[in-house]
Structure 1
Amino acid sequence: MIRLRALLFVAALLPCSFAAAAPGKAAIASAHKLATEAGFDVLAAGGNAFDAAVAVSAALSVVEPQSSGIGGGAFFLVHRAKDGKQVLVDARETAPAATDAKAYLDANGELDRDKSVNGGLAAGIPGEPAALVWVAQHYGRLPLKQSLAPAIRLARDGFAPDARSLMRIGQRKDVIARDAGASALFLPGGEVPGAGWVLKNPDLARTLELIAERGHKGFYEGEFAEKLVAGVKKAGGNWSREDLAAYAVREREPIVFQYRGHKVVTAPPPSSGGIALAEMLNILQGYDLTRLDRVERTHLVVEAMRRAYRDRAEYLGDPDFVKMPVAELTSPLYAAGLRASIHPKKATPSDSLPGYMAPVQGTDTTHFSIIDADGNLAAVTQTVNLPFGAAVVVPGTGFVLNNEMDDFALKAGAPNAYGLVGADANAPRPGHRPLSSMTPTFVIGPERTLVIGTPGGSRIITMVLEGILAWFDGDAPQQLVDNKRFHHQYLPDVISTEKDAFTPAERKALQAMGHVLSEGEQPWGFMNAVDWNRKTGELRGGSDSRGVSGTALVR
């Protein structure tokens, strides 16, 4: 703990407020044009980046129900320009008091995947509604009612879901059909809707109005909470009114470290992203990546990924309950030792690294990035985990419940839906928050600032890493979010890649080093990034072209 306090003290000495003039304009990049526009509507009404973040977050809950929503959780990473305050608002879901890991096992004692990802038992207590209220009250300028107005209008008047949303409904049709509330909302006439279908969600509009009028109590207490608990129990879950009433966001000190003369500010536990990002960049800081060819560089990046994900599996969990060696894992000295174990020409088999201790541990997440005219920054990643979460909609509420219980290590060593393993540090216990890969991040240099993040399940952290490295190489936000991607997560011991991420010659050279490659057909993630040249005042944004409706605007 002494070493952690020392690390935070050193981080506090680093420059965190901007000496340069504010940009005068704002930049927002999100996964949907309607959400980006909602953010600008609130800015035009006199709001700041944090009011806009509330508006964008709530609008995405309406127009991207497959990815996130008020039935899920979020991390809001904020930088307040006037005093340099930087904090992570942790709105991760929590496990109900009645949580019992054995409930997720089958008769043979093996993990029952259906129970962990589908139905009421898969859902943790949502945190996003609490975050909307907290961010508006503590960092915004406008009343919550004003910031939620665009989302309420979208829910009531309706919108045409894009092709990506319709595809996800098709993928989850069988599970959605199990639940009366979900099927009534997303399967009109019992079928997957076609292009041009207009989704109107008056129940969600009323739920958002309740939050706007009554704040935290509107969701977590009273008649609405009673309705939620009854609906979850009917769907096989184990929530109680006490679980909802006890929910609170946590403000946490971000992970802060230096890379190539820039300060990186990123998510702390219960996100594993910031620690893993620090570990990987600290390892890579010992190499001049610009002087290496693509194969040599990829090899070193993969070896850094391998080691960071190994430590993720062993050490990380809910910081309110688990003691973690944060200072050690983010230390340059620790990274130097890991770097020394990397052979420059040969892959390190994952099974040759020390195994995780036993015991000691969404693809459809969404992310948006904001810089406002005052220089405030917001990087927000939010999720219901898998597409449409648990595929449960409590009648009268209008939103899907998350399936974040699968992010716990429900059985030590058993991989979750993303193939990640864990042990006791991430075991499911009442009130605990499951380990996350969400990695909203700021990179702040002498003249430039980057705000970045992405969905992508276990690949989130490595995508953010690759985006940051590309930015240092000179890529603009649109280019870095569109680049082809690769990923390694310790186990399985495979470099997974997007299609055509490497040339045949590069694949052959990596295989000769001992790497195993697996090329997929589907693209990954949906990155959204904005940057600001504080010397020239230029703002730029990029929204991943892998999406259908993503929009980055500067105004």
Structure 2
Amino acid sequence: MSDALSRSMEIRKHVVETDRGIVAAQHRQAAKAGAEVLRAGGDAVDAAVACGFVCSVLEPWMSGPAGGGAAMHWRADSGEAQALNFGMRAPAGLRLEDFPLSGDGQAGDLFPWQRVVEDRNASGARAVAVPAMVDGLEAAHRRWGRLPWAELLAPAVAHARRGMEIDWYAALIIASATRELARDADAAALFLSEGHYPRPFAWTALAEDRLDQSAMADSLDILAREGAAALHGGDLGAALARDVRDKGGYLSREDLAANRARFHAPLPVPYRDALFHVMPGLTGGPTFARAMGHLAEGSVPRLDDAYPAFAKALFAAYGERLCGMGHDGENPATPGCTTHFSVVDRKGNMVSHTQTLLSLFGAKVVSPTTGFLLNNGIMWFDPEQGRANSLAPGKPCLMNVCPILGETRGRRFALGASGGRKIVGAVTQIAAFLADHGMDLEAAFHQPRIDVSGGTTITADAALPASVHKALAALAPTHVARRSLLPYPFACPAAVLDTGKRRYGASEIMSAWGDAVAEPE
């Protein structure tokens, strides 16, 4: 825990309340775009399309058209939940011999796999998996959308034409990856200024500095006119695949045509008097279900006593995940590259949506023709063979994403988070705060959390009482951390909640850009 951080500063956010719809996202302008769609008569799904594409422009290092993810949808008219998986998979032409182990020990990024020569599974064109995010948004829109697809992409196209403004927060994010971005000429041209990170301000003055996202704007305009087919089998996808292969990767037009979004029956998770609907399959959903199952074995503890229970449940759930799903834990020092947003419209329809490039800036490679930053989904696989999650051509990736829907105490909510390995723990605790302790969103989002996510240690919020720290330390080695603007020790959640009469939205209190925006009158 840094001694340089202020001990007297307190950061809080107001929860947004309305009798109309609301969007909670990691970027205020993306949430605003979604809220404007609701005002125009759009469904929650329409708002999600607008929000998701604006996030791709204004948080390009977190997610984008060359990424993937998953979403949970609640339809108020039928009273049913639907799970939508638009995850990535390895290209069919991937060559295992191109990923020899280096013998240098563990890699330094999200997962403690054995290091691969030149980190080819973590950065560069060989690390690029087959994306499906665009098809995920379009699949939901085809089923439930009310407004024209092109209108929903218009805000993202407009933002890309202007170019993303670089403020202090964006400059910090770019500075954290300058060395890696400089290795790819197209990434350097997009994000760096003369080989260095941008300078948006001096000590007392702001400067006007924007990314040149004109190539991305052109590609988004094609998607607006032609839909996901342009990327999944069309000329835009062919151009993207060609760029990846020119840089040494494997992506093909046929890969893109084959990897499409898939609807599934959700995994129901009964929990005391509550019910959750989560993503099945190769996501964080089954691990959330296991954690809640372990919590349900005991009675509801008082709040301070809940933290050891959280730790035990998460240790057990992650132990089962590592054994049964082939996911071998993650490096706690490195954040994931993901964004989450939640939407509710005035009819009560909900979307809990997570989209990702995996690592921050993904593969640190940009497709010059499309302007898209590329994912590094190949890093989700264990490069050692003979394991459940071993790398193989055409194989689906095992994701951390954990969007959920919940109903408890007469309230319904959509919740999820970004933050790589930290996602499941954050979602588990906030769900328990709402279900077990009757908190509202403001209390739940300000309540301190812990992180237990596959390792042997616990990270505990410094704001927790000393007695809680002591109880946690009796279970496992415990590190104390303060919530900060950067990095995020405890994931970055966003949620909306519907009581039937009033609706509420909240984003992570330490997120500089995150906000909830109500549908305007």
TM tier, smaller = 0.7 to 0.9
What residue number does 2:180 align with?
175
- For 1:393-542, list aligned pairs within 5 A: 393-411=366-384, 424-445=387-408, 447-472=410-435, 473-490=437-454, 492-498=455-461, 500-511=462-473, 513-520=474-481, 522-524=487-489, 525-534=491-500, 537-542=501-506
Residue in structure 1 matching 2:221, options 209, 229, 232: 209
Contact 2:73-2:82 within 8 A present in 1 as well:
yes
Alignment of 1:129-528 (within 5 A): 129-195=134-200, 196-271=208-283, 273-291=284-302, 294=304, 296-316=305-325, 363-411=336-384, 424-445=387-408, 447-472=410-435, 473-490=437-454, 492-498=455-461, 500-511=462-473, 513-520=474-481, 522-524=487-489, 525-528=491-494
Number of residues paired by the alignment? 474
Identity, in percent, stands at: 30
Q: Which residue, out of 75, 79, 103, partners 2:70? A: 75
**Contact persistence 1:118–1:391 (CA under 8 A):** yes
Residue by residue over 1:388-420, the C-alpha shift from the partner in whole angstroms, topping out at 9 and shown as x without a partner, is: 1001111121221011111112226xxxxxxxx
Contact kept, 8 Å, 2:343 with 2:351, in 1: the verdict is yes
Q: Is the 8 A contact 1:481 1:529 kept in 2?
A: no
> Secondary structure in 1 aligned to 2:82?
strand
Q: 1:41 to 1:554 in 2, by over 3 A?
A: closer
Question: Corresponding residue for 1:37?
Answer: 32
Which amino acid counterpart does residue 209 of structure 1 have in structure 2? D
Q: Give 1 or 2: higher helix fraction.
A: 1
Distance 1:514 1:29, change over 3 A: closer
Change (3 A) 1:103 1:256: same
Quote how far apart the aligned CAs of 1:520 are. 4.1
Aligned to 1:554: 518
Deviations 1:224-277 (A, max 9, x none): 223212211222211222212212111111111211222101111121x21111
Aligned residues: CA RMSD: 2.2
- Counterpart Cα distance in 2 of 1:217 and 1:297: 48
The residue aligned with 2:92 is: 97
Q: CA deviation at 1:547?
A: 1.0
Letter in 2 for 1:468: A
**Alignment match, 2:22:** 27
Cα distance change, pair 82–528 in 1 and its aligned pair in 2 (3 A): same
Cα distance between partner residues in 2 of 1:229 and 1:44: 38
Q: Which string of whole-angstrom CA distances, capped at 9 and with x for unpartnered residues, describes residues 197-250 of structure 1?
A: 222411111111111111122112343223212211222211222212212111
For residues 304 and 254 of structure 1, the distance between their equivalents in structure 2, rounded to whole angstroms, comes to 22
Higher RCO (Cα < 8 Å, 6 or more apart)? 2
Asked if structure 1 preserves the Cα contact closer than 8 Å seen for 2:25 and 2:516, the reply is: yes
Instruction: Name the aligned partner's letter for residue 364 of structure 2.
Output: A
Letter in 2 for 1:204: M
Indicate if the aligned counterparts of 1:441 and 1:451 stay in contact, CA closer than 8 A.
yes
Letter of the aligned partner of 2:28 in structure 1? K
Question: 1 CA distance for matches of 2:301 and 2:517?
Answer: 31
* Deviation for aligned residue 1:502: 3.4
Q: Distance in 2 between matches of 1:69 and 1:214?
A: 17
Please state how far the C-alpha of 1:24 moved relative to its aligned partner: 5.1
Alpha-carbon contact 1:274-1:439 (below 8 Å) kept: yes
Q: Hey, what's the Cα distance between the residues in 2 that align with 1:84 and 1:166?
A: 44
Question: What TM-score comes out, normalization by structure 1 length?
Answer: 0.81
Query: Within 1, Cα distance between the matches of 2:420 and 2:37?
Result: 30
**2:102, 2:115 within 8 Å by CA — same for their partners in 1?**
no
User: In the alignment, which residue of structure 2 is the partner of 1:13?
Assistant: none
CA deviations on 1:108-150 (whole Å, 9 max, x unpaired) are 4943272121101111011111112212212211121011111
Q: Is the contact made by 1:379 and 1:441 (CA closer than 8 Å) also made in structure 2?
A: yes
Q: 1:56 to 1:395 in 2, by over 3 A?
A: same
Instruction: Choose between structure 1 and 2: higher strand proportion.
Output: 2
Q: CA deviation at 1:317?
A: 6.8
Q: CA deviation at 1:303?
A: 1.2
Q: Write the deviation string for residues 275-298 of structure 1: whole angstroms up to 9, x where unpaired.
A: 11111111111222334x62x432
Aligned twin of 1:333: none
2-side partners of 1:546 and 1:104: how far apart?
38
For 1:64, give the aligned amino acid: E
SS for the counterpart of 2:101 is coil
User: How many Å apart are 1:497 and its aligned residue?
Assistant: 2.9
What do residues 90-110 of structure 1 show as CA deviations (whole Å, max 9, x unaligned)? 111111012244432335494
Structure 2 distance, partners of 1:49, 1:163, is 32
Instruction: List per-residue Cα deviations over 1:419-466 (Å, max 9, x = no partner).
Output: xxxx73322222222111111011113610111110010110000001
Q: Does 1:111 align with 2:115?
A: yes
**How far apart in 2 are the matches of 1:44 and 1:209?**
23
Is the Cα–Cα contact under 8 Å of residues 42 and 146 in structure 1 kept in the other structure? Answer: no
TM-score, normalisation: structure 2: 0.86
The verdict on how the C-alpha distance between 1:503 and 1:85 changes in structure 2, with shifts beyond 3 A counting, is closer
AA aligned to 1:183 is A
Structure 2 residue runs without a partner (length 5+): 1-17, 105-113, 201-207, 330-334
Distance 1:507 1:76 in 2: 35
User: SS at the partner of 1:67?
Assistant: coil
